[in-house]
Structure 1
Amino acid sequence: MAVLGQLARRLGVSESWVRDRRCAADLALASLGDAQLVLLRPRRLMNANGRSVAQAAELFGLTAEDVYLVHDDLDKPLGKLALKLGGSARGHNGVRSCISCLNSSAMPRLRVGIGRPTHPNAVQAHVLGCFSPSEQELLPPLLERATDLLLDHIRERSQGPLSGT
């Protein structure tokens, strides 16, 4: 949610969130050039957030390819980012819920590394826990990079293919 908050600030809509009961989420609408963006903060549990995503997609006439998922990734070290186009959920229950509810795995995904704890039984506490003070120092530049990556990709997609010379 931190990346989404930073994205909303950059787009000037951080104070524009509206609760939408139709999709059990908070929504903020923004523009990026000619592209109209719908920012979505589901109010459901992560394992069921695909219902909110699918309902919002239907409400705004979006296909799975139009939906960007931003999610944590245990298999990437803290601070590492990767933009993935489609594919499996890779064990992430929130992504699995979105794939199931949208009946597609075609969504672009920004994977934000949070690192994997050394003890396998500590995964749930790690995912749901807070960042340590030293980890918190890494967050501002990470959020900036994540937002830049998302905005650049959205701009490229909204401009379409360039004509050859």
Structure 2
Amino acid sequence: MRYFICALFFVVSAAHAQNTTALPEGAASPKATLKDISWMQGHWSGEAFGGITEEIWGPPSGGSMMFSFKLVSDGQVGFYELGHIRELDNTLVYELKHFHGDLKGWEEKDEVQSFKLVKVDGKRVYFEGFTFEKVSNDEINIYAQIGDEDGSAEEVTFNFKKE
């Protein structure tokens, strides 16, 4: 299935990445706060994987920004993601879980996909394998490394417009 976004087959492949990166071996994440990514707040929509995507980000509160993601293809929900970016130890961490359209989880009950902050650079915030980019107040890009079952990876761009 092509929709294994960072689930069990997450691969960071610098050779294929143009907009994503990884934290160097042994390096610590830089200091950051939710203020650095608060521009993500809002209701966003776009197209990917042959369907319509929707991503909703709440405002920073309680030390996190919560989000939900949905892909609809051929009139059916392909999958959901639920997660957050949270402040932890004076930096940020991006964490998520995947669900099939019937809300059965992809990950084990207590398993969470977790991505360390690599850097904050102007209108871009880099996590391992993901980059969030503010194009304008009404447009964002999310770049994600997507791994397939065969171990290959490609960078996918999600372009979202504000609802």
TM-score by length of 2: 0.30
Name the one with the larger strand percent: 2
Tell me which structure has the larger Cα radius of gyration: 1
Name the one with the larger helix percent: 1
